[in-house]
Every structure is written in C-alpha cells, then in structure tokens.
Structure 1
Amino acid sequence: MNISRSSKQLGTTLSLAAAVLLGACAQMPSQPESGPAATEPPLLSGAAAGTAGATPAPAPVVLRQDHPQTYTVAPGDTLWSIAGRFLQDPWRWREIWRQNPQLRNPNRIYPGDVLQFSHDADGQPQLAVAERDEVPLLKLSPKVRIEELSQPIPPVPRDAVESFLTRAVILSDAQWKGTPYIVADDDDQVVYAARDRVYARGSLFDQPRYQVFRPGEALREPGSDRYLGTPGVYLGEAILDQDGDPATFTLANTIAPIRAGDRLLPIEAERELYSFEPHPVPPDTEGSIIAKLDTDVTQITQYSSLIVNLGAQEGIEPGHVLAIYGRGRTVEDPVSGGSVKLPGERAGLLMIYKVHDLVSYGLVMQAERAIRLQDRVTTP
C-alpha cells in the first residue's frame, strides 16, 4: 500500500470540518521555493524488500536498557516523554500499553499515576497503571458543572501547540470567497486595531465572538504545483455588537493590523490534546514538508510546527508519526569520474496533531540534523 500524495488523484475542495485542531499564526506560513524534492525513499528492510505487495512483519519493540520498572507520572510529563523512558522508539507506545478496564478513564494518564512495567504470559513487554487514586473532583457551584482538578497528560508539550489549536484554518479559494468579511470601520481609517468599531457583511451572525483572518499564500504540491489550499493568517477577534447588514463588531485581542476585506470565522472549540497518542503512519506513506508555521524563527528545530502535504484523504490522523529525511544530492566522483547520487539522511521525527483534507500540521519531536522545507516525510 502506497499512499503518497503523488499516487492519488485528490479533489481540491477542502472541508472546514476536517480542521480537527487549530493554531495561531500572525504571519503566513513559510513555504519552499517551487521545484520537486529530489530524494529517494529509504530502503525498506526485511520482508518489505521482498515479494511485491507483501506486508512486512513489524519489528520487535526495542526497550531502553535503562528503562525503569516503575515510574510515577509528574506534572509536565507528556506521553512522548514517558514513552521515551521505556522505548527506543517512543511512537510504538500502543504496542506495550495495557488498558485497565477497571479505571474510569483507562486511556488517560494523570500526574501521580504509577506506571508498572512487566511482561505478559507470552513474554511480551507491557506497561500499565499499577495504582491510582481517583482523580479529585471540584464542584464549582450547585448543579452547574463539575471539573477535574487534575488534567491528563498530553501527547506533546501543550505550550508547543496551544497557540495553534484554535487559531489557524486552511480553506479552499471557494471557501474563502464565501466567508463573511469586514467592510470598513466607523472612522474611515485604513487599518484597525483593538477597541475599534467595524462593520461586516456576508453572513447571519449568530455567535458572540469571531476570529479575524486574512487569506495567506496558497499551499502548492512540490513538483506538480497542485493547489492544496490557502491558510489563514490569524489577526485577532471581533465581538458582535449588533447583527444586521452590515453587522457591527468591536475588535479585541488584535495581534496585527486589520483591514477591510479581512474575513470572520466562528471560534471553534479546542479539541482535547489527550484524544490521540503516538503511532506510526501506514507503511510506504510518503510526503513532503511544504511550509512552517512559526515564521519568526529561520531554523526548523525541535517543537517547530510544520505543514506536510498529507491529509485525511491519505488516512493521516492526529498522533501519526513520520520520519523526516533530508533531500539527496548529486556529487562528482573524484576518482572514477561522473556523478553519484547520495541518499538523504534521516533528520528527525514529526508527530501529526491537526489534520485537514489535503494537508496536516505536525510537530517536530526529534531534530537529529538540519531540517529544511521540502524534506521528505515517510514511515519511521
């Protein structure tokens, strides 16, 4: 099974509902210069190099030699960091995790939980919660709501993706054209900021608050230049004062100047970070890094957020882990003459945390060498 972007004919219409997690970015994502990514996929080992169509047997889970027998979960831990204490490949967490059906939330791990390492009857390694006090509850007010005092640990550091959870969108050109927009302010200014009063059209506004975006630079398929969608540049919020045509809004929490023509989108609820866990993408998955979200820094490092040209239509989902490989290069042979193609070396690991139809957002979990735009992403 090969689900690389280049092997599938996909539609170009993006679905807003496919934007699972959203992020904040006051500048448009940096994209690579046009041109194909000149790398070859890494050779598959074992059965994958044999009979065509055969599915390779998964390699045994490799434990760290210094893994503990028990570990008490601490505040600030992530699922990835805990997995790294036990496994050489943290994304294979699912293969050793044993759910405890007697627990109220067997898939969630909380600070204070004691994790117990052992082997099952077949000699396979496993990890489970050895003991747990019930998570305390706080009743805030009579018959209003009850909240847990302790939050489950997230798969990745919250502060690395929190700014991108509810403040980024990728829409098609048609979708952008159909979104409501700001017409003008009440004082004939060219740019607007927080506390300015503005007017908007294009929708029956029924939400108290909206987010303000500006369409950014279109995302393109490396090599084919196929259109993959247009990301939104987050600018701030607009509070509805009065619906109508035009409707009246007051701007708030602006992080960049707002202008006439900027778009309004409803605020989406933040999806729980513990709703996914690390696991490898299907075999033979191939794609490319096409943009980066944190444009304030020039280098791609650990916990940088990137956009890859793989999405829901390739079966990508939050928690999928991909290996990053640098592009191969061609050099002159100093002895025999002619040229020789050098393979791209593995540069790091990327975990997907937000999925659209045709593209996904991922977080660099490991940076082993320089990572660049148009580097390839594939099965780890």
Structure 2
Amino acid sequence: MSITHSSRSIGAALSLATAVLLGACAQTPSQPESHPTDSDPPPLSGSATPSPGAPVVPVPVALQPNPPQSYTVVPGDTLWSIAQRFLKNPWQWREIWRQNPQVRNPNRIYPGDVLKFSYDASGKPQLEVAEREETPLIKLSPQVRVETINQPIPPVPRDAVESFLTRALVLNEGQWKKSPYIVADDDNQIIYADRDRVYVLGGNFDQPRYQVFRPGEALIEPGSGRNLGTAGIYMGEALLDKDGDPATFTLVNTIAPVRAGDRLFEIEAERELYSFEPHPVPPDTDGFIIAQLNPDVTQITQYSSVIINLGAQEGLEPGHVLAIYGRSRTIDNPISGGSVKLPGERSGLLMVYKVHDLVSYALVMQAERAIRLQDQVTTP
C-alpha cells in the first residue's frame, strides 16, 4: 500500500481546546492547557527522515530472549499480547507471520490454535499456526444456519474499544449544520430522557433506529491552529415513530439528558476488530495526542483511548502503531548558568483502531511513563 507521509508542520506554540466523548459516558474529556513548547519534538533514536526517493531500510526483527517454540492460543488473548511473547516490538508481527495454506483462514487466529515458532532456510524467524482440527459447530434448528463456537482473536482488547467503534463521530461544521436535529418534545420540557417523544427536522428517515449526538468543541491542531473537525458527544438512541417534517421519535438508551439541537445519525455498522494487524507508520510521521476519551480518569494509561491529529489524509489505517514521546523541556543550568534543553523521552505505544479524514482514534497499548495531552506521536 502506498502511504502518504505526514506533512503537518510542528510550530512553536501549541493551542488546544477539545471536548470529546465517544462511548458510554456523556462527559467531556480532559483538555490540555495552552502554552508554548520549549523546543521541537525529540528526534527518533536510531532513525532519520529519509530523503525523497531514498529506500526505507527495514528495522531488524527484535525477538524476545528464548521465545517459546510453541504457544496455544486461549480465550482473552489478543494479537498484540501474543506478539509480545515472541517479539520485543509487537508491531513487527507481519515480518515473522507465515500463512499456512493448509489452514482455513490462515490469516486469523482462534482460541485453541497452536502457534509454531521456527527459522526458515535463510535463518529468518517465522511463526505459523499448526494445521488445526475442524472447529466445533453449533447447528441451529431448523438447520437455517451453522455457526462456529469461537471467534478469531482481536488485535486489541474488545472491551477497551467496543463502545467507541460505532460512536466515534467527527464532522466538519458544514456536516453538523446539515444533520437532522431535535426541535422539541411533546410536553414543552427543556431536557428529554428515555421514553420521551421528540420531534426532528431536517431529514428523510427510513431506518427504525438512530443515534443521538451533541456537537462538542472543535478539535484544534497544535501549532497550526487548524480546525480538524468537531467530535460528537454520544447521548443515546431514538426510535422512529413516524416520518414527516417534523418526524416523530421516541428516545431510548439515553446516557445523559437530551436537548433541542441534538443531532440524529444512522447507526454505523461495527467493523470487524480482527480485520487489521499491528504495523508501524512510515518513518517521517509526526503528530500529537489532542484528546482523551476516558473521562472517568485523569491520567492516560494503558488501554486509554485517545484522538491524534493524523488521519486518512496522512495514510493512517487501523493497525498502525506509533510511539509516544513526552515534550522536551528547558531547565536552568545550576552550575554554569544558562539553560539546558532536555529531550522528551519515550513514554509508550499506541495503536490506531478507527480513522477519519483528519484525526484517528487510538488505544494506548503500552504506558512506560506518564502520558499527557499534547505528547508527540511518531514512528516507533
């Protein structure tokens, strides 16, 4: 796949105001304070931005000391957790995976599969799934459908991202203005909840169920100040009673009070979690964490969901892995006077799981030290 590298400039000043919630709580996430940066982001150790047209030298596969010769997959495993058993850098999974043509769906891994580690004729490490037995089947009367008992393991923990997969909405100002909106309920109330009937203008409705979102604050790109869109705050669902102008809906599964002006959108089908694999972004990709999606905690930790200011326009795709670096800082020299610039240290890894045009949603896979809003994300 041809990937367009990130070309966003990193300015001397960071300005950010975010309000995002996607998932199970209708609260706004932590917001970073606006303050100048001390210096440019830290350079990557051991790598440099290649000159135009120069080939990218692959990073050698880094194995764990004495990787297991075999491993039996168990429920609860993820592609990332399995990769960590064999690799120091889990995003190098593609470089050692060998698809066994004798195995049905060789690119998927199921609980009960036995993974075999070996070296090929040239001495390169490889991992493959042993030939598996037939997966047990459940036959449903009257034999309308046959289903497998187990599902392929996902790349990341399902419960960490499931609530965001179909509730991750980012639109530009024009798209928000064109979306259908609630104008009132049937009882002159200011706020609405479950089982309340509401009236909606601005759409032709042909689906039985819709999601209700409220526009949050704009996502502003650090440095450039560019508006990257407005993330939606998930409020609940609405069932269509009668189409018209206005259309009539009944609210259900609300997680916070709904108000006039909240918008309705068709429910997006959940994409398969196992449809991507960990792999690194290109060497010259640079961005920032601009929002945190877990409002119940103040810190960004392992399995926190965040928004970064890189999206499809930079070639990002689900499965892309980025390293997280803290901001560099300047301190006073206690001996000779003057100032000393301290580089930002690597603080963790994240993996992208949903991509919009200008931003992406990512899960923190490793937290090696404190992670903060406005931390840099770049090639691992």
Give matches, 1:82-231, under 5 Å. Answer: 82-142=82-142, 144-231=144-231
2:9·2:223 contact (CA, 8 Å) conserved in 1? Answer: no
The Cα of 1:27 is off from its aligned counterpart by 2.1
1:24·1:167 contact (CA, 8 Å) conserved in 2? Answer: no
In the superposition, the TM-score normalised over structure 2's length comes to 0.91
The Cα of 1:284 is off from its aligned counterpart by 1.2
The Cα of 1:245 is off from its aligned counterpart by 1.2
Distance 1:248 1:212, change over 3 A: same
Q: RMSD of the alignment, in Å?
A: 2.0
Equivalent in the alignment of 2:309: 309
Equivalent in the alignment of 2:255: 255
Distance 2:269 2:7 in 1: 30
Distance 2:47 2:376 in 1: 23
Equivalent in the alignment of 2:337: 337
Equivalent in the alignment of 1:292: 292
Aligned residue for 2:40, secondary structure, equals coil
Q: 2:57 is matched by which residue type in structure 1?
A: A
Equivalent in the alignment of 2:6: 4
Distance 1:139 1:120, change over 3 A: same
Number of residue pairs aligned between Structure 1 and Structure 2: 367
Q: 1:272 is matched by which residue type in structure 2?
A: E
Q: 2:354 is matched by which residue type in structure 1?
A: K
Aligned residue for 1:160, secondary structure, equals helix
Q: 1:125 is matched by which residue type in structure 2?
A: P
Distance 1:160 1:49, change over 3 A: closer
In the superposition, the TM-score normalised over structure 1's length comes to 0.91
Distance 1:151 1:170 in 2: 30
Q: 1:304-347: per-residue Cα shift (whole Å, max 9, x none)?
A: 00000000000000000000000000011112221111100000
The Cα of 1:254 is off from its aligned counterpart by 0.6
Q: 1:4 is matched by which residue type in structure 2?
A: S
The Cα of 1:180 is off from its aligned counterpart by 0.5
Equivalent in the alignment of 1:34: 34
For structure 1, which segment, 226-235 or 135-144, has the greater mean C-alpha deviation from structure 2 after superposition? Answer: 135-144
Distance 2:277 2:4 in 1: 23
The Cα of 1:134 is off from its aligned counterpart by 2.4
Distance 1:52 1:187 in 2: 64
Q: 1:226 is matched by which residue type in structure 2?
A: R
The Cα of 1:2 is off from its aligned counterpart by 8.3
Distance 1:51 1:108 in 2: 37
The Cα of 1:243 is off from its aligned counterpart by 1.0
2:48·2:283 contact (CA, 8 Å) conserved in 1? Answer: no
Q: 1:91-140: per-residue Cα shift (whole Å, max 9, x none)?
A: 11111000112222111100000000000111100000013122233343
The Cα of 1:78 is off from its aligned counterpart by 0.3
1:199·1:249 contact (CA, 8 Å) conserved in 2? Answer: yes
Aligned residue for 2:130, secondary structure, equals strand
The Cα of 1:41 is off from its aligned counterpart by 4.1
Q: 1:31-89: per-residue Cα shift (whole Å, max 9, x none)?
A: 32334544534444557488776444222111111321000000000000000000011
Runs of 5+ in structure 2 lacking a partner? 11-21
Distance 1:192 1:339 in 2: 57
Q: 2:156 is matched by which residue type in structure 1?
A: V
Aligned residue for 1:237, secondary structure, equals strand
Q: 2:266 is matched by which residue type in structure 1?
A: P
Equivalent in the alignment of 1:328: 328
Aligned residue for 1:275, secondary structure, equals coil
Distance 1:45 1:327 in 2: 15
Q: Give the share of equivalent positions with the same residue, in percent.
A: 75
Distance 1:300 1:128 in 2: 35
Runs of 5+ in structure 1 lacking a partner? 9-21
Q: 1:178-227: per-residue Cα shift (whole Å, max 9, x none)?
A: 11011111111111111111111111100000000000010001112110
1:40·1:343 contact (CA, 8 Å) conserved in 2? Answer: no
The Cα of 1:244 is off from its aligned counterpart by 1.2
Distance 2:256 2:50 in 1: 55
Distance 1:46 1:163 in 2: 37
Distance 1:332 1:46, change over 3 A: closer
1:47·1:55 contact (CA, 8 Å) conserved in 2? Answer: no
Distance 1:318 1:96 in 2: 20
Equivalent in the alignment of 1:58: 58
Q: Does 1:349 align with 2:349?
A: yes
Q: 1:276-323: per-residue Cα shift (whole Å, max 9, x none)?
A: 010100111100000111112101000000000000000000000000
Distance 1:144 1:193 in 2: 39
1:37·1:222 contact (CA, 8 Å) conserved in 2? Answer: no
Distance 1:243 1:81 in 2: 48
Distance 1:188 1:89, change over 3 A: same
The Cα of 1:165 is off from its aligned counterpart by 1.2
Aligned residue for 1:261, secondary structure, equals coil
Distance 2:150 2:161 in 1: 20
